[in-house]
Amino acid sequence: MTTPHLLQRPLREQAADLRNGTLSATKLAEAANEAHRIRGAHDNAYLTWQGEAALAFAQATDAVIARGGDSGPLMGIPVSVKDLYAVPGLPTYAGSSQRLPAEWEQPGRLMSVLLAQLPSLMGKTHTVEFAFGGLGTNAHWGAPRNPWDTQAHRVPGGSSSGAGVSLVNGTASLALGTDTAGSVRIPASMTGVTALKTTASRWPGKQIVPLSSTLDTPGILAHRIDDLAYAFEALDPQLSPRPARIPARPALADLTFGVPEHFFWDDCSPGIAEAVQQAMRQLEAAGARLVTFELPNTDKAFELFQQGGVAASELAAFLNTELPHMIETLDPNVAARIHAADGIPAWEYVHRRTTLDKLYSAAAECMGQVDAVLTPTVAITPPTLESLQPEGAYGSANMRALRNTVMANFMGLCGLTLPVGRDAANMPVGLQVIAGPWQDARLLAIGQAIEARLGTGLDILGQPPSL
């Protein structure tokens, strides 16, 4: 079993030790700063690093703890935040080449709830420009480096491209991202950590730079499902219109998992399907019931996604009304899809929204037949930057990376991912677990049961060779 870096220890342990005096927020922040000193320039996880400010804040937090103060479960925990969230005192670029107006430095509800608990905010992590991409590339700032390959520069997954890397390299214990078509689950899968995509509208998106007002959902990344559960319970009661506590971890023998036969498994890179299937066999051996189950209308949903869905039109609307001066400087991979939205008539946009409503309803109705659906999280191994250079290569890889995760977004479901092994290229493989709308708390309990059987990412993968 791998000995974890200080920030890779379970969040519950970090929180308990902060309160019993065997650990300090200062020590955690110092460890994050040291990790950034060693790995920061190489990994390129952060657009804005504020290590010294975080250290000073951690020292003040320790003084509060010494006086018996307790501001919440995330007090003193080092956190990274995707550069879409408005954070006081920190610039917001949203992955673009220009700093956004000052209004995008005024926190929304989610950030206010987080900051009120006095975490150590280490910095803002890189994102694909305006979150519009699943691989993690950025023409303005470069792509963070996936730490699992020491030879080639492989993508870390996107659009929350720096989030997973910040966890793996020891500069954060918890990372905030967003998910419109897979943007917390893809980088988590590609970097060997866990992530939760919340049900749309469960957590407020105000003051998070939007990609799609319809599909955007805040999400969290961490080393373990239990860390996600801990953070969820710290945030959800103050954010959700239907707040929920995590129920007791169910026995695997009491769970029925739906496993699709096709679509999610088609055209997987070597070793991905095999790793996920091996994990499912372990769950079945522990008593879980696996049944053939197809999410309705996956082909229709994917066709809609290939046509651009609603994200391109909604981002185009935001940019044209709020930031028109930035359109000319967009990353070519983003600009092409924005300009394509100009030709979509109003009736077509309304039709697409209506189609999404129908997909939501059909999926919600059938999800009651199983406790959760299991699939590979991402069908492809993280590509190298070099392999994306030929014409058409980026678009093809991006579509394949997003294919499996987008289904939860287009069907109004919640989902998580956890690492279960490595593929033939020795890169992490994720298992996606999908549950019905508003079943986020139960999904985390199911994830805890799966993790208890399979082990955590540190158990399965160890540390990346580059660390």
Say whether the peptide bond before residue 159 is cis (omega within 30 degrees of 0): yes
Pairing relationship of beta strands 78-82 and 120-125 according to DSSP bridges: parallel
pTM greater than 0.85: yes
Cβ 419 vs Cβ 192: under 8 Å: yes
CA distance 91 to 336: 26
Catalytic annotation present for 159 = yes
Taking a C-beta distance cutoff of 8 angstroms, is the pair 18, 24 a contact?
yes
Give DSSP secondary structure letters for 406-442: HHHHHTT-EEEEEEEEE-TTS-EEEEEEEE-TT-HHH
Which residues of the chain are modeled with pLDDT < 50? 1
Q: Strands (DSSP E) along 126-263, which ranges?
A: 174-179, 194-197, 217-222, 256-259
Q: Which of 96, 160, 173, 183 is catalytic?
A: 183
Q: Both tokens of residue 335?
A: 């600009």
Name residues whose C-beta falls within 8 Å of residue 377's C-beta, 6 or more positions apart in sequence: 185, 186, 188, 189, 404, 405, 417, 429, 430, 431, 432
Measured from the Cβ of residue 364, the count of other Cβ atoms closer than 10 Å reads 16
Which one-letter amino acid corresponds to residue 408? A
Residue with the two structure tokens 């709308």: 437
What amino acid occupies position 369? Q
Contact 450/214 with Cβ under 8 angstroms? no
3-state DSSP helix/strand/coil % of the chain, to nearest 5 = 45, 15, 40
* pLDDT attached to residue 2: 57
Over residues 388-432, the pLDDT tens digits come to 999 999 999 999 999 999 999 999 999 999 999 999 999 999 999
Name residue 170's amino acid: G
DSSP assignment of 239-295:
H-SS--PPPPPPPGGG-EEEE-SSSTTTTPPTTHHHHHHHHHHHHHHTT-EEEE---
Please give the pLDDT value at position 47.
98
Integer Cα distance of 174 and 61 in angstroms: 17
Q: Are 124 and 82 in contact (CB under 8 A)?
A: yes
Q: Which residues pair with 217 in a beta bridge?
A: 179
Spatial distance between the Cα atoms of 138 and 337, rounded to a whole number of angstroms: 15
Respond yes or no: is residue 82 known to be catalytic. yes
**What pLDDT is recorded for position 1?**
45
| β-sheet bridge partners, residue 435 | 414
Q: Are strands 289-292 and 256-259 parallel, antiparallel or unpaired?
A: parallel
Query: Could you tell me which of 290, 286, 291 has the C-alpha nearest to residue 452?
Result: 286
> Which residue in the list 24, 96, 120, 159 is annotated as catalytic?
159
Contact 241, 198 (CB under 8 A): no
Helix/strand/coil (H, E, C) string of 181-193? CCCCHHHHHHHCC
Contacts of 90 (CB under 8 A, 6+ apart): 48, 50, 105, 123, 124
- Of 24, 80, 82, 96, the catalytic one is 82
Q: For 265-300, how does the pLDDT look when each residue is reduced to its tens digit (9 = 90+)?
A: 999 999 999 999 999 999 999 999 999 999 999 999
